[in-house]
C-alpha cells in the first residue's frame, strides 16, 4: 500500500513489532498499522479499508485501537486540525 510520503506519517505507538501511524489526511478518520511487509488502513469504526496483515497481528491492532480509542481519535484530530 505505502501511499504516504516518507517522514510525513508520525508513529504514535509501537508494540509487538507493529507501528501505529496517523497521516495528515482530511478524509475519513483512519490510522495505519504496519508490521514487516504488511500494512492495513483501519477506519474509525474499526473496519479494514485497505491492505492485509496476519490475523494475530490484526487482532492485536484492533485490541490496541479499542483500548486507546480516545487517544487515537484525539491524535487524528490534532494532526488533521
Beta strands in 1-81 (DSSP E): 11-15, 18-21, 30-35, 38-43, 48-52
Instruction: Tell me what the mean pLDDT of segment 51-58 comes to.
Output: 98
Residue 72 in contact with residue 30, Cβ under 8 Å?
A: no
Whole-model pTM?
Answer: 0.84
The whole-number pLDDT of residue 1 equals 52
Does the pLDDT of residue 55 top 50, yes or no? yes
- CB proximity list for 66: less than 8 A, separation 6 or greater: 46
Is the Cα torsion angle 33, 62, 28, 69 positive or negative in sign? negative
Phi, psi of 50 (to 5 degrees): -145, 155
Chain segment 12-54, per-residue pLDDT in tens: 999 999 999 998 776 788 999 999 999 999 998 899 999 999 9
Does the pLDDT of residue 9 top 80, yes or no? no
Does the pLDDT of residue 6 top 70, yes or no? no
Residue 8: band (very low, low, confident or very high) from pLDDT cuts 50, 70, 90: low
Q: Of the candidates 72, 63, 37, which has an alpha carbon nearest to the alpha carbon of residue 51?
A: 37
Amino acid at each position: 500500500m505505502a501511499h504516504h510520503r516518507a517522514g510525513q506519517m508520525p508513529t504514535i505507538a509501537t508494540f509487538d513489532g507493529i507501528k501505529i501511524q496517523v497521516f495528515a489526511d482530511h478524509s475519513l478518520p483512519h490510522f495505519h498499522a504496519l508490521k514487516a511487509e504488511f500494512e492495513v488502513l483501519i477506519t474509525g469504526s474499526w473496519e479494514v479499508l485497505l491492505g492485509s496483515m496476519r490475523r494475530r497481528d490484526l487482532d492485536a491492532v484492533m485490541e490496541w485501537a479499542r483500548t486507546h480509542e480516545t487517544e487515537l481519535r484525539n491524535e487524528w484530530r490534532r494532526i488533521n486540525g
